[in-house]
Amino acid sequence: MDMNLEQLQAFVAVAQTGNFTRAADRLYLAQPTLSRQIGALEQDLGAPLFHRDRAGSTLTEAGASLLPLARRMLADADSVRRELAELAGLQRGRVRLGATPTLCISLVAEVLSAFHVKHPGVELHLSEHGSRRLLDELAAGELDLALVTTSEATAAPTRFEATPLLVEELVVISAASAPAIVDAETVGLSTVAGLPQIVFSSAYDLRGATDAAFRAAGLTSDVVLEGAEMDAVLRFVERGLGVAIVPAMVLVGRPGLRAARLDASALERTISLVRPAGVAPTAAVGVMAQTIAATAIEFAARAGATMRLAAPTGLR
């Protein structure tokens, strides 16, 4: 069969009005045009759909059988049009975003808040893991976008399209209620090694980066607590249990912490937005990427010297 939506609309209109002229008026068609559509439909189906007489038009047995099917097909077509229109206006849709734990409590929290305020109908999914796991999920088609981090101590992932967003220093934090760990604005790794440290789980990318930096300098850290998650590390430091090396970004909105920059042996990490290569983003994913980029610019402006916008290079 070669029926189309215009023919089905004409058929349903005649069935509802019982009259070709009134049906044509309802559809803003000339009556000959509507009659041709019905005739073509009948020819395609191989059966008359209406009994035609001066009193009007009534359905034949074939027409009565077709009517519920035609109504359902028109309803389905209308539903598809509405969904596409809503997606185009970001009234609906889905974004699956992955991010590392340190980014989830800082950059991502602001990104999702800003996005949801403007597009509350878009369904959001968040995967919180280390960069390596996120890239695996991205490659498997489980994520649309991922915010990952790289440093000198971690190999840059490949096989993805990525946009470097921020270059961020790792800083040494201590409790704001306690005396400063150094009088100067910066501190050396040798000094940090002699302080009681709270260190992250080995699943954290930045744990590998800091461990490598201490090994390269021939230093051994004085670890008082190992294996904590980011939020716990920040709380323990606030309560004076020890110091920790963390991304500068997590200090935003935490007055209970004091930060000191590392000296010439500074540790940095690059935050990149990654997506699968060769996959065109949906409208919702595209707007999410724009929101992330805009929020990153705002973060860089607020962070001062400890954070800067990244050069347009990185993952491939």
Are 232 and 207 in contact by the 8 Å Cβ rule? The answer is no
Of 234, 232, 231, 206, the C-alpha closest to 131 is: 206
Question: Of the segments 3-17, 84-98, 257-271, which one has the largest average pLDDT value?
Answer: 3-17
Region of poorest pLDDT, from 197-206, 288-297, 304-313: 304-313
Query: By C-alpha distance, which of 302, 259, 287 is closest to 118?
Result: 287
Report the C-alpha gap between 148 and 144 in whole angstroms.
13
Residue pair 209/259 in contact (Cβ under 8 Å)? The answer is: no
pLDDT surpasses 50 at 102: yes
Average pLDDT on 163-178 reads 91
Looking at every residue in the chain, the average pLDDT score rounds to 87
Range in 34-43, 80-89, 163-172, 282-291 with the lowest mean pLDDT: 80-89
Q: Does the predicted TM-score (pTM) go above 0.85?
A: no
List of domains in the chain: 5-88 (1.10.10.10), 94-309 (3.40.190.290)
**Greatest C-alpha distance within the chain:** 103
| Mean pLDDT of the region 44-52 | 93
CB distance 34 to 27 below 8 Å: yes
What confidence tens digit (pLDDT) does each residue in 179-225 have? Answer: 888 888 889 999 999 999 999 888 777 888 888 889 988 999 999 99
pLDDT at 316: 37
Q: How far lies 81's CA from each of 13, 72, 76, 213, 282, in Å?
A: 20, 14, 9, 56, 16
CB distance 166 to 299 below 8 Å? yes
Range 64-77 average pLDDT: 90
313 — pLDDT class (breaks 50, 70, 90): very low
- pLDDT tens-place string over residues 108-117: 999 999 999 9
Residue 298 has which token pair? 């705002």
pLDDT tens-place string over residues 156-170: 455 788 899 999 888
